Protein backbone atom coordinates (compact mmCIF):
# COMPACT_ATOMS: atom_id res chain seq x y z
CA UNK A 1 0.00 0.00 0.00
CA UNK A 2 2.81 2.35 0.99
CA UNK A 3 4.54 1.51 -2.24
CA UNK A 4 1.42 2.33 -4.21
CA UNK A 5 0.92 5.74 -2.60
CA UNK A 6 4.58 6.54 -3.20
CA UNK A 7 4.05 5.74 -6.84
CA UNK A 8 0.99 7.94 -7.02
CA UNK A 9 3.05 10.73 -5.51
CA UNK A 10 5.73 9.97 -8.08
CA UNK A 11 3.23 10.26 -10.86
CA UNK A 12 2.06 13.70 -9.85
CA UNK A 13 5.62 15.01 -9.64
CA UNK A 14 5.79 15.84 -13.31
CA UNK A 15 8.73 17.09 -15.24
CA UNK A 16 8.98 20.82 -15.76
CA UNK A 17 7.61 21.87 -19.14
CA UNK A 18 10.21 22.72 -21.74
CA UNK A 19 9.79 25.52 -24.20
CA UNK A 20 10.24 24.57 -27.86
CA UNK A 21 10.62 26.77 -30.86
CA UNK A 22 7.80 24.79 -32.50
CA UNK A 23 7.09 21.36 -33.88
CA UNK A 24 8.07 18.18 -32.12
CA UNK A 25 10.97 18.04 -29.73
CA UNK A 26 13.59 15.59 -31.03
CA UNK A 27 13.34 13.73 -27.73
CA UNK A 28 9.85 12.48 -28.66
CA UNK A 29 11.33 10.20 -31.31
CA UNK A 30 13.63 8.53 -28.78
CA UNK A 31 10.56 6.75 -27.39
CA UNK A 32 7.97 6.97 -30.19
CA UNK A 33 8.03 5.84 -33.83
CA UNK A 34 7.00 8.88 -35.89
CA UNK A 35 7.30 7.06 -39.20
CA UNK A 36 6.12 3.54 -39.94
CA UNK A 37 8.80 1.18 -38.61
CA UNK A 38 10.39 -1.21 -41.07
CA UNK A 39 11.51 -3.43 -38.21
CA UNK A 40 8.56 -5.68 -37.37
CA UNK A 41 10.58 -8.11 -35.25
CA UNK A 42 9.57 -9.25 -31.79
CA UNK A 43 12.72 -7.54 -30.60
CA UNK A 44 11.26 -4.14 -31.42
CA UNK A 45 8.17 -4.97 -29.44
CA UNK A 46 10.34 -5.87 -26.48
CA UNK A 47 12.62 -2.81 -26.61
CA UNK A 48 10.01 -0.21 -27.60
CA UNK A 49 9.82 2.64 -25.06
CA UNK A 50 6.45 4.10 -26.03
CA UNK A 51 3.46 3.51 -28.30
CA UNK A 52 3.77 4.25 -32.02
CA UNK A 53 2.70 7.72 -33.12
CA UNK A 54 3.18 7.41 -36.88
CA UNK A 55 -0.61 7.39 -37.40
CA UNK A 56 -1.39 9.82 -34.54
CA UNK A 57 -3.26 12.23 -36.83
CA UNK A 58 -5.82 9.53 -37.61
CA UNK A 59 -6.01 8.26 -34.04
CA UNK A 60 -6.40 11.14 -31.58
CA UNK A 61 -8.77 14.04 -31.16
CA UNK A 62 -6.64 17.19 -31.33
CA UNK A 63 -8.23 18.82 -28.26
CA UNK A 64 -7.53 15.76 -26.18
CA UNK A 65 -3.89 15.70 -27.35
CA UNK A 66 -3.23 19.32 -26.40
CA UNK A 67 -4.76 18.82 -22.96
CA UNK A 68 -3.04 15.48 -22.30
CA UNK A 69 0.43 16.68 -23.30
CA UNK A 70 0.12 19.38 -20.62
CA UNK A 71 -1.22 16.97 -18.04
CA UNK A 72 -0.28 13.43 -19.09
CA UNK A 73 -2.23 11.03 -16.89
CA UNK A 74 -1.47 7.33 -17.38
CA UNK A 75 -3.40 5.65 -20.20
CA UNK A 76 -1.84 2.22 -19.85
CA UNK A 77 -2.38 1.41 -16.18
CA UNK A 78 0.56 -0.98 -16.12
CA UNK A 79 3.00 1.21 -18.05
CA UNK A 80 4.53 0.38 -21.41
CA UNK A 81 4.96 -2.38 -22.34
CA UNK A 82 2.93 -3.83 -19.50
CA UNK A 83 4.80 -7.13 -19.27
CA UNK A 84 7.89 -5.34 -17.99
CA UNK A 85 6.11 -3.81 -15.00
CA UNK A 86 3.86 -6.59 -13.74
CA UNK A 87 4.69 -8.17 -10.40
CA UNK A 88 2.86 -10.79 -8.38
CA UNK A 89 0.34 -9.28 -5.95
CA UNK A 90 -1.64 -10.89 -3.11
CA UNK A 91 -4.75 -11.62 -5.20
CA UNK A 92 -3.63 -11.04 -8.77
CA UNK A 93 -0.72 -9.53 -10.65
CA UNK A 94 -0.21 -5.79 -10.17
CA UNK A 95 1.94 -3.23 -11.95
CA UNK A 96 5.19 -2.42 -10.17
CA UNK A 97 4.90 1.38 -9.73
CA UNK A 98 8.66 1.86 -9.43
CA UNK A 99 8.96 0.78 -13.07
CA UNK A 100 6.45 3.33 -14.37
CA UNK A 101 8.02 6.71 -15.21
CA UNK A 102 5.87 9.84 -15.54
CA UNK A 103 5.47 11.18 -19.08
CA UNK A 104 7.32 14.39 -20.02
CA UNK A 105 4.99 17.34 -19.50
CA UNK A 106 4.76 20.19 -22.01
CA UNK A 107 3.71 23.79 -21.50
CA UNK A 108 0.72 25.12 -23.44
CA UNK A 109 2.65 26.51 -26.43
CA UNK A 110 4.74 23.35 -26.79
CA UNK A 111 1.64 21.14 -26.45
CA UNK A 112 -0.15 23.10 -29.17
CA UNK A 113 2.90 22.92 -31.46
CA UNK A 114 3.31 19.18 -30.82
CA UNK A 115 -0.41 18.59 -31.49
CA UNK A 116 -0.15 20.40 -34.83
CA UNK A 117 2.78 18.16 -35.84
CA UNK A 118 1.15 14.94 -34.59
CA UNK A 119 -2.12 15.69 -36.39
CA UNK A 120 -0.15 15.76 -39.66
CA UNK A 121 0.83 12.11 -39.18
CA UNK A 122 -2.10 10.52 -41.01
CA UNK A 123 -2.59 6.78 -41.44
CA UNK A 124 -2.81 5.49 -45.01
CA UNK A 125 -6.44 5.34 -46.19
CA UNK A 126 -6.45 1.54 -46.20
CA UNK A 127 -5.44 1.47 -42.51
CA UNK A 128 -7.95 3.97 -41.13
CA UNK A 129 -10.68 4.40 -43.73
CA UNK A 130 -12.90 7.49 -43.50
CA UNK A 131 -16.40 6.30 -42.64
CA UNK A 132 -15.21 3.02 -41.04
CA UNK A 133 -17.60 3.92 -38.22
CA UNK A 134 -20.97 4.48 -39.82
CA UNK A 135 -22.11 6.75 -36.99
CA UNK A 136 -24.99 4.58 -35.76
CA UNK A 137 -25.05 5.61 -32.09
CA UNK A 138 -27.95 3.37 -31.09
CA UNK A 139 -25.71 0.31 -31.05
CA UNK A 140 -23.92 1.60 -27.94
CA UNK A 141 -25.95 -0.48 -25.47
CA UNK A 142 -25.33 -3.76 -27.27
CA UNK A 143 -21.73 -2.65 -27.75
CA UNK A 144 -21.35 -2.26 -23.99
CA UNK A 145 -22.62 -5.78 -23.48
CA UNK A 146 -20.21 -7.05 -26.13
CA UNK A 147 -17.34 -5.17 -24.50
CA UNK A 148 -18.03 -6.45 -21.00
CA UNK A 149 -19.42 -9.92 -21.62
CA UNK A 150 -19.69 -11.33 -25.12
CA UNK A 151 -16.33 -10.35 -26.60
CA UNK A 152 -14.26 -10.13 -23.44
CA UNK A 153 -12.59 -6.79 -24.24
CA UNK A 154 -12.75 -6.02 -20.52
CA UNK A 155 -10.16 -8.71 -19.80
CA UNK A 156 -7.52 -6.26 -21.06
CA UNK A 157 -9.23 -2.85 -21.09
CA UNK A 158 -10.97 -0.72 -18.48
CA UNK A 159 -14.41 0.36 -19.68
CA UNK A 160 -16.69 3.14 -18.45
CA UNK A 161 -16.58 2.36 -14.72
CA UNK A 162 -12.80 1.96 -14.66
CA UNK A 163 -13.11 -1.78 -14.04
CA UNK A 164 -11.18 -4.13 -16.23
CA UNK A 165 -7.83 -5.58 -17.19
CA UNK A 166 -4.48 -3.83 -17.09
CA UNK A 167 -2.63 -5.11 -20.14
CA UNK A 168 -4.29 -2.77 -22.66
CA UNK A 169 -4.85 1.01 -22.68
CA UNK A 170 -7.78 2.26 -20.59
CA UNK A 171 -10.82 3.05 -22.68
CA UNK A 172 -12.74 4.91 -19.95
CA UNK A 173 -12.57 8.12 -21.99
CA UNK A 174 -12.13 6.57 -25.44
CA UNK A 175 -14.69 8.90 -27.01
CA UNK A 176 -12.79 12.00 -25.92
CA UNK A 177 -9.38 10.57 -26.79
CA UNK A 178 -9.85 8.60 -30.00
CA UNK A 179 -11.36 9.20 -33.45
CA UNK A 180 -14.34 6.92 -34.18
CA UNK A 181 -12.91 5.62 -37.49
CA UNK A 182 -9.70 4.67 -35.70
CA UNK A 183 -11.62 2.76 -33.00
CA UNK A 184 -13.49 0.79 -35.66
CA UNK A 185 -10.36 0.06 -37.70
CA UNK A 186 -8.27 -0.98 -34.69
CA UNK A 187 -11.01 -3.18 -33.27
CA UNK A 188 -11.40 -4.89 -36.66
CA UNK A 189 -7.71 -5.67 -37.16
CA UNK A 190 -5.17 -4.64 -34.49
CA UNK A 191 -2.39 -6.65 -36.16
CA UNK A 192 -2.64 -4.46 -39.23
CA UNK A 193 -1.43 -1.56 -37.08
CA UNK A 194 1.12 -3.56 -35.21
CA UNK A 195 2.06 -7.09 -36.26
CA UNK A 196 3.05 -8.20 -32.76
CA UNK A 197 0.55 -6.40 -30.56
CA UNK A 198 -1.01 -8.70 -27.98
CA UNK A 199 -4.58 -7.72 -28.75
CA UNK A 200 -6.17 -10.65 -30.56
CA UNK A 201 -7.82 -10.20 -33.96
CA UNK A 202 -11.25 -11.56 -33.15
CA UNK A 203 -12.66 -11.68 -36.70
CA UNK A 204 -15.71 -9.71 -35.61
CA UNK A 205 -18.64 -9.10 -37.92
CA UNK A 206 -19.03 -5.48 -39.04
CA UNK A 207 -22.26 -5.20 -37.04
CA UNK A 208 -20.33 -6.06 -33.88
CA UNK A 209 -17.54 -3.60 -34.73
CA UNK A 210 -20.11 -0.82 -35.28
CA UNK A 211 -21.73 -1.52 -31.90
CA UNK A 212 -18.44 -1.72 -30.02
CA UNK A 213 -17.34 1.54 -31.64
CA UNK A 214 -20.64 3.24 -30.75
CA UNK A 215 -20.12 2.16 -27.14
CA UNK A 216 -16.50 3.38 -26.97
CA UNK A 217 -17.33 6.67 -28.72
CA UNK A 218 -19.94 7.30 -26.01
CA UNK A 219 -17.32 7.16 -23.22
CA UNK A 220 -15.73 10.30 -21.82
CA UNK A 221 -17.83 12.80 -23.70
CA UNK A 222 -17.17 12.91 -27.43
CA UNK A 223 -16.13 16.46 -28.38
C1 LIG B 1 11.03 8.40 -22.13
C2 LIG B 1 10.16 7.99 -23.22
C3 LIG B 1 9.17 9.00 -23.76
C4 LIG B 1 9.42 10.27 -24.26
C5 LIG B 1 10.74 11.03 -24.32
C6 LIG B 1 8.15 10.75 -24.77
N7 LIG B 1 7.16 9.81 -24.57
FE8 LIG B 1 5.23 9.96 -25.16
N9 LIG B 1 4.80 8.18 -24.23
C10 LIG B 1 5.73 7.37 -23.61
C11 LIG B 1 5.04 6.26 -22.98
C12 LIG B 1 5.67 5.14 -22.17
C13 LIG B 1 3.66 6.45 -23.26
C14 LIG B 1 2.49 5.61 -22.79
C15 LIG B 1 1.90 6.27 -21.56
C16 LIG B 1 0.65 5.59 -21.05
O17 LIG B 1 0.05 4.82 -21.77
O18 LIG B 1 0.25 5.84 -19.90
C19 LIG B 1 3.56 7.66 -24.06
C20 LIG B 1 2.37 8.15 -24.58
C21 LIG B 1 2.28 9.22 -25.44
C22 LIG B 1 1.07 9.62 -26.13
C23 LIG B 1 -0.24 8.86 -26.08
C24 LIG B 1 -0.06 7.70 -27.06
C25 LIG B 1 -1.11 6.63 -27.03
O26 LIG B 1 -1.14 5.81 -27.97
O27 LIG B 1 -1.89 6.56 -26.08
C28 LIG B 1 1.38 10.73 -26.87
C29 LIG B 1 0.45 11.50 -27.77
C30 LIG B 1 2.77 11.04 -26.61
N31 LIG B 1 3.28 10.10 -25.74
C32 LIG B 1 3.45 12.12 -27.15
C33 LIG B 1 4.77 12.44 -26.86
C34 LIG B 1 5.44 13.64 -27.32
C35 LIG B 1 4.80 14.71 -28.20
C36 LIG B 1 6.72 13.60 -26.84
C37 LIG B 1 7.82 14.62 -26.99
C38 LIG B 1 7.53 15.91 -26.40
C39 LIG B 1 6.83 12.38 -26.05
N40 LIG B 1 5.65 11.71 -26.09
C41 LIG B 1 7.98 11.98 -25.38
C42 LIG B 1 7.10 7.57 -23.56
C43 LIG B 1 7.74 8.74 -23.95
C1 LIG C 1 -5.59 -9.80 -24.75
C2 LIG C 1 -5.84 -8.43 -24.41
C3 LIG C 1 -6.81 -7.62 -25.24
C4 LIG C 1 -8.13 -7.90 -25.56
C5 LIG C 1 -8.94 -9.13 -25.20
C6 LIG C 1 -8.62 -6.76 -26.29
N7 LIG C 1 -7.64 -5.81 -26.42
FE8 LIG C 1 -7.82 -4.01 -27.32
N9 LIG C 1 -5.84 -3.64 -27.02
C10 LIG C 1 -4.97 -4.49 -26.37
C11 LIG C 1 -3.63 -3.95 -26.50
C12 LIG C 1 -2.39 -4.58 -25.93
C13 LIG C 1 -3.74 -2.75 -27.26
C14 LIG C 1 -2.65 -1.81 -27.77
C15 LIG C 1 -1.76 -1.25 -26.73
C16 LIG C 1 -0.80 -0.25 -27.31
O17 LIG C 1 -1.13 0.92 -27.40
O18 LIG C 1 0.27 -0.60 -27.75
C19 LIG C 1 -5.15 -2.59 -27.54
C20 LIG C 1 -5.67 -1.48 -28.20
C21 LIG C 1 -7.01 -1.27 -28.43
C22 LIG C 1 -7.57 -0.06 -29.00
C23 LIG C 1 -6.76 1.17 -29.36
C24 LIG C 1 -6.66 2.02 -28.11
C25 LIG C 1 -5.43 2.86 -27.98
O26 LIG C 1 -5.44 3.77 -27.15
O27 LIG C 1 -4.45 2.60 -28.68
C28 LIG C 1 -8.92 -0.24 -29.07
C29 LIG C 1 -9.95 0.75 -29.60
C30 LIG C 1 -9.21 -1.56 -28.57
N31 LIG C 1 -8.02 -2.14 -28.17
C32 LIG C 1 -10.46 -2.12 -28.50
C33 LIG C 1 -10.72 -3.43 -28.08
C34 LIG C 1 -12.02 -4.05 -28.18
C35 LIG C 1 -13.28 -3.38 -28.68
C36 LIG C 1 -11.86 -5.33 -27.71
C37 LIG C 1 -12.90 -6.45 -27.65
C38 LIG C 1 -13.51 -6.78 -28.94
C39 LIG C 1 -10.46 -5.50 -27.32
N40 LIG C 1 -9.81 -4.33 -27.57
C41 LIG C 1 -9.91 -6.64 -26.78
C42 LIG C 1 -5.30 -5.65 -25.72
C43 LIG C 1 -6.51 -6.31 -25.80
Domain architecture of the chain: domains with CATH: 2-119 (no CATH), 137-217 (1.10.760.10)
For a mutational test of ligand 2's pocket, the pick from 168, 179, 196, i.e. the residue with the most ligand atoms closer than 8 A to its C-beta, is 168
Q: Which of 6-15, 87-96, 214-223 has the lowest mean pLDDT?
A: 6-15
Determine the pLDDT at residue 121: 97
Average pLDDT, the chain: 86
Cβ of residue 157 lying under 6 Å from some atom of ligand 2:
yes
> What is the chain's length?
223
* Local confidence band at 198 (pLDDT 50, 70, 90 cut-offs): confident
* Local confidence band at 13 (pLDDT 50, 70, 90 cut-offs): very low
Determine the pLDDT at residue 108: 96
Determine the pLDDT at residue 72: 96
What pTM did the predictor assign?
Answer: 0.90
Q: Count other C-beta atoms under 10 Å from residue 31's C-beta.
A: 14
Q: Specify whether the CB–CB gap between 85 and 99 falls below 8 A.
A: yes
| Protein residue whose Cα sits closest to atom 1 of ligand 2 | 199
**CA 127 – CA 185 distance, rounded (Å):** 7
- Alpha-helical (H) ranges within the chain are 2-12, 28-31, 42-47, 62-70, 108-119, 140-145, 174-177, 180-188, 190-193, 206-217
> Which region holds residue 203: left if phi is over 0, alpha if psi is between -120 and 50, else beta?
left
For the CA of 27, the nearest ligand: 1
Determine the pLDDT at residue 163: 87
pLDDT at 125 over 90: yes
pLDDT at 10 over 50: no
CA of 104 relative to ligand 1 center, distance in Å: 8
* Local confidence band at 129 (pLDDT 50, 70, 90 cut-offs): very high
Cβ of residue 75 lying under 6 Å from some atom of ligand 1:
yes
CA of 45 relative to ligand 1 center, distance in Å: 15
Determine the pLDDT at residue 19: 42
pLDDT at 103 over 90: yes
Cβ of residue 151 lying under 6 Å from some atom of ligand 2:
yes
Determine the pLDDT at residue 3: 56
Determine the pLDDT at residue 18: 44
Q: Which of 3-7, 25-29, 41-45 has the lowest mean pLDDT?
A: 3-7
Cβ of residue 171 lying under 6 Å from some atom of ligand 1:
no
pLDDT at 220 over 60: yes
Determine the pLDDT at residue 77: 85
Amino acid sequence: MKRLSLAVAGLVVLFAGKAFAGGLDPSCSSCHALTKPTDTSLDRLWTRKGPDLWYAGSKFNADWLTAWLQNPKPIRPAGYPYFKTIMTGPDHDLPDPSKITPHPKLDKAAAEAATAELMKLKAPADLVTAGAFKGEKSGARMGGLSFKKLRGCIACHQGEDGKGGLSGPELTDAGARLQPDFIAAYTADPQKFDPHIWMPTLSLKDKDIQRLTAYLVSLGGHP
